[in-house]
Amino acid sequence: AQKVTQAQTEISVVEKEDVTLDCVYETRDTTYYLFWYKQPPSGELVFLIRRNSFDEQNEISGRYSWNFQKSTSSFNFTITASQVVDSAVYFCALSEARRDDKIIFGKGTRLHILP
Amino acid sequence: EPEVTQTPSHQVTQMGQEVILRCVPISNHLYFYWYRQILGQKVEFLVSFYNNEISEKSEIFDDQFSVERPDGSNFTLKIRSTKLEDSAMYFCASTRGGKETQYFGPGTRLLVL
């Protein structure tokens, strides 16, 4: 069965600090996709990244970086030099690489960036 | 850039009433989904739809729910007789194929009184 665990329910950091959001997943499939979404207070889901299970290279996009480690079934997300606009709920998610597979979301981590 | 749209953005209804939530997926997409997010909780899969039929549905998607693609552009979710616990944000998503990224709409916030 698929499962995504985000153990951190809520995190508060002061602006400009770095922060890492943890994500651990479970799946029996060898081929799958991992995602991160941002949900700001307005409620929409903003797509951040999708990573194929065969690609373990870390990825950096501006202040955002992702660390994918299959050995520990983790896909952690780091925000460098955090800003108040980064305040949101962040969801890690998983889908199997089938034709029309659903996305399974974690419970989310609420991130507060304090000015 | 094309996007998924949903209407209405907010809907308030009385318990027992029928509601229809509408979505316009991205035009060349073939797979369609509805997800639900109860306030403060995680996003949950409801149903996937392909080739004019349901591909998969979750246990949440009981007989009170139905989906339809009535024309070439709209994808609707109907709740036949709403309950208080149906109050949630409902997200529509679409993709060209299962190996492509799903694009989410902005959501419809449903409140059942």
**Residue A21: count of CB within 10 angstroms of its CB:** 22
What average pLDDT does this structure show over B2-6?
92
Contact B21, B106 (CB under 8 A): no
Q: How far apart, in Å, are the Cα atoms of B58 and each of A14, A83, B45, B48, B55?
A: 40, 37, 7, 9, 11
What average pLDDT does this structure show over A82-100?
89
The encoded tokens of residue A55 equal 């690609």
From the list B42, B55, B102, which residue is nearest A91 (CB)?
Answer: B42
Cβ separation A47–B107 shorter than 8 A = no
Phi, psi (degrees; rounded to nearest 5) at A72: -110, 5
What average pLDDT does this structure show over A33-53?
93
Chain A residues with beta carbon closer than 8 angstroms to that of B91: 45
The encoded tokens of residue B44 equal 């949950």
Res A96: pLDDT: 84
Give the model's confidence band at A100: pLDDT under 50 very low, under 70 low, under 90 confident, else very high. Answer: low
pLDDT digits (tens, 9 = 90+) for B11-25: 999 999 999 999 999
From the list A43, A100, A102, which residue is nearest B89 (CB)?
Answer: A43
How far is the C-alpha of B85 from the C-alpha of B82, rounded, in Å? 8
Tell me the percentage of chain A whose pLDDT exceeds 90.
Answer: 81
Is residue A21 predicted with pLDDT exceeding 90? yes
Chain B residues with beta carbon closer than 8 angstroms to that of A49: none
pLDDT digits (tens, 9 = 90+) for A56-77: 888 889 999 999 999 999 999 9
Cβ separation A91–B35 shorter than 8 A = no
Res B98: pLDDT: 62
Residues 6+ apart with CB under 8 A from A85: A113
Interface test with chain B among A10, A46, A89, A100, by most B beta carbons within 10 Å? A100
Provide the chain B residues 33-52 that lie in CB contact (below 8 A) with chain A.
Answer: 33, 35, 41-45, 48, 50
Contact A104, A93 (CB under 8 A): yes
From the list B89, B98, B106, which residue is nearest A100 (CB)?
Answer: B98
Is residue A99 predicted with pLDDT exceeding 70? no
Instruction: Name the average pLDDT for chain A.
Output: 93
